[in-house]
């Protein structure tokens, strides 16, 4: 296959890895009997690698999933921790929303993707069911790709 004259660098996550994450996350949702999900997988620069929205997922699910992934990348930790902070630091959460133009969603279901050396590769966000179940699907997808999930909890 011909290569472009000036190939761009891979910004963390490959398309193949992102596809595995999305497909495995949706499979986990089916296994758990969850409501229809939307998955957004971003590379380390915050660029969309894969978006998948199951039939029946409601209108705003892609934006919510994006906000969870974006929030994790913006803060440098998974949104499990961001959701905890939102409970006690409402002023900060409001400021974060303002600073990101409303893009960061402080709800569980945004998980950083790291490699075996703890290098940040990207993030995945899922929306569609309760946030803890969304996060469970994120983790399953990341692990299926042979990568390490970072939920925001200390290792």
Beta strand 38-43 pairing with 48-53: antiparallel
Q: How far apart are the first and last CA of the chain?
A: 41
Query: What does the pLDDT profile of the chain (155 residues) look like in tens digits?
Result: 666 566 666 678 999 999 999 999 999 999 999 999 999 999 999 999 999 999 999 999 999 999 999 999 999 999 999 999 889 998 988 898 888 888 899 999 999 999 999 999 999 999 999 999 999 999 999 999 999 999 988 75
Q: What is the pLDDT of residue 3?
A: 60
**SS3 call for 97:** helix
Residue 154: C-alpha distances to residues 62, 81, 151 (Å): 28, 9, 9
């Amino acid at each position: 296959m011909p290569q472009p004259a000036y190939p761009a660098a891979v910004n963390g996550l490959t398309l193949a890895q992102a596809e595995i994450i999305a497909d495995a996350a949706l499979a986990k949702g089916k296994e758990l009997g969850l409501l229809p999900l939307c998955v957004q997988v971003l590379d380390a620069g915050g660029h969309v690698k894969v978006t998948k929205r199951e039939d029946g997922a409601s209108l705003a699910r892609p934006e919510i999933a994006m906000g969870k992934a974006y929030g994790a990348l913006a803060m440098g930790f998974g949104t499990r921790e961001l959701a905890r902070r939102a409970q006690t630091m409402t002023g900060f959460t409001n400021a974060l929303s303002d600073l990101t133009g409303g893009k960061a969603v402080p709800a569980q279901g945004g998980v950083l993707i790291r490699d075996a050396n703890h290098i940040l590769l990207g993030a995945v966000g899922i929306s569609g069911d309760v946030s803890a179940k969304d996060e469970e699907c994120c983790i399953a997808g990341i692990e299926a790709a042979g990568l390490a999930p970072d939920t925001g909890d200390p290792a």
